[in-house]
């Protein structure tokens, strides 16, 4: 029996305003602006702080970030390329709905790559890697409460990135991220399900234990089960959040 998915609390402001822009979203003036705006907005979209359909007016964003509209336009174009915003010329720009087909493809890519990654890692004896992976699990354990979900998800990402780096394919992690926005939003919606956090922690521990024991089959089986969790609940998620998804 599946658990109950409880709707998460998300903000839905009519616009991002300078007075409400969180302090940690201020820009580093020593870096180019457009990539930072892209990163900040992407984080807000993937975390579901900006819901599908939320408007993103260039003038308001420029005021909020203290910039001209040129870097804002560039950042929004990059978000459009990842399918995270819809730009309607001469009309409006808004956060896109979650594209279920794109989420399935991103999941296929990640599963294919990570099955090979855990095979590589389980074929070697690397106690230092086990310690690093365990440290990420410990951070997740310390942030398991609902009020700490952003930190929990950040540690989740760090766990998987650590495996990519250890396998010598860190650049592929960056590639995956360009396609992961839709499936990551599904995972964020799924996270409040009763028992979901515990299952993630259990799965990560099983993956690490199998790698430590150099059990290739066990590591791959644990990873396959771990990555299938949210995708197996797509129908229920879509029924609960019909205004957030696109299933065509």
- As a dihedral over the C-alpha atoms of residue 81, residue 159, residue 245, residue 77, rounded to 10 degrees, the angle is -20
- State how far the Cα of 57 lies from the Cα of 48, in Å rounded to an integer: 18
Instruction: For residue 209, give Cα distances in angstroms to 36, 86, 132.
Output: 37, 43, 13
Q: Would you give per-residue pLDDT tens digits along the chain (248 residues)?
A: 344 444 444 433 334 444 455 555 678 888 899 999 999 999 999 999 899 999 999 998 998 888 999 999 999 999 999 999 999 887 889 999 999 999 999 999 999 999 999 999 999 999 999 999 999 999 999 999 988 998 999 999 999 999 999 999 999 999 999 999 999 999 999 999 899 999 999 999 999 999 999 999 999 999 999 999 888 889 999 999 999 999 87
For the chain, give the number of residues.
248
| Residue 55 · residue 62 · CB < 8 Å | no
Cα–Cα–Cα angle for 9, 82, 87, rounded to 5 degrees: 80
Q: φ and ψ at 89, to 5 degrees?
A: -50, 135
CA distances, 191 to each of 83, 185, 218, 243 (Å): 22, 10, 25, 18
CATH 1.20.120.530-classified regions of the chain = 99-246
- For 18-96, CATH number out of 1.10.10.10, 3.40.1280.10, 3.40.50.150, 3.40.1000.10 equals 1.10.10.10
pTM: 0.85
Query: Which part of the chain has CATH 1.10.10.10?
Result: 18-96
CATH number of this structure's domain 99-246: 1.20.120.530
């Amino acid at each position: 029996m599946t658990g109950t998915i409880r709707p998460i609390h998300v903000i839905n402001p009519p616009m991002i305003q300078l007075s409400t822009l969180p302090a940690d979203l201020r820009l580093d003036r020593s870096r180019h602006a457009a990539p930072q705006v892209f990163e900040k907005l992407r984080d807000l979209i993937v975390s579901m702080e900006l819901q599908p359909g939320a408007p993103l007016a260039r003038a308001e964003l420029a005021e909020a970030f203290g910039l001209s509209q040129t870097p804002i336009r560039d950042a929004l174009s990059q978000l459009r390329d990842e399918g995270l915003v819809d730009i309607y010329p001469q009309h409006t720009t808004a956060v896109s709905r979650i594209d279920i087909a794109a989420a399935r493809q991103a999941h296929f890519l990640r599963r294919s790559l990570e099955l090979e990654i855990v095979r590589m890692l389980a074929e070697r004896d690397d106690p230092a890697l086990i310690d690093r992976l365990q440290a990420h699990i410990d951070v997740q354990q310390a942030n398991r409460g609902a009020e700490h979900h952003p930190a929990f998800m950040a540690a989740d990402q760090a766990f998987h990135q650590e495996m990519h780096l250890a396998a010598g394919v860190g650049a592929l992690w960056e590639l995956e991220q360009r396609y992961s926005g839709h499936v990551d939003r599904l995972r964020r919606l799924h996270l409040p399900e009763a028992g979901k956090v515990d299952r993630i922690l259990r799965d990560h521990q099983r993956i690490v234990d199998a790698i430590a024991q150099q059990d290739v089959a066990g590591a791959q089986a644990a990873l396959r089960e771990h990555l299938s969790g949210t995708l197996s609940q797509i129908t229920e998620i879509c029924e609960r959040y019909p205004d957030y998804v696109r299933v065509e």
